[in-house]
Amino acid sequence: MNENVIGKELVDAAVQVHRELGPWLLESVYEVVLAKELESRGLRIERMVIGPSEENLGDFVSLRERQTQVEPGGPANAASPHR
């Protein structure tokens, strides 16, 4: 499956679960039911995976900021309404 198919399955499953259960339940209830629904659709899932540590997250944010920096007067500033 490519990422577009996986994304569509995920959104469809989430909408279906929310329609069946309705609002106002604990997040943990939606998590369990959504996991079962995704597995029934043939997707392999992992719940409550530990993400990057604060130290690594800082490195990621710093890298992302460097990737999005634009020189003054560049395309991002040219269309800015805040001059």
Write the pLDDT tens digit of every residue in 11-68: 999 999 999 999 999 999 999 999 999 999 999 999 888 776 666 666 655 655 655 6
Residue 59 falls within a domain, yes or no?
no
69 has pLDDT over 70: no
In the chain, how many domains are there? 1
Write the Ramachandran bin of 47: left for phi over 0, alpha for psi from -120 to 50, otherwise beta.
beta
Q: Is residue 76 part of a domain?
A: no
C-alpha 69/C-alpha 9 separation (Å) is 34
**What number is the average pLDDT over the span 65-79?**
55
**Is residue 23 included in any domain, yes or no?**
yes
* pTM greater than the 0.75 cutoff: no
Those residues whose C-beta lies under 8 Å from the C-beta of residue 25, and which sit 6 or more positions away, are none
The yes-or-no verdict on residue 82 having pLDDT over 60 is no
Q: How far is CA 59 from CA 45, 51, 52, 63, in A?
A: 27, 13, 10, 6
Nearest C-alpha neighbor of 33 from the set 44, 49, 17, 15: 17
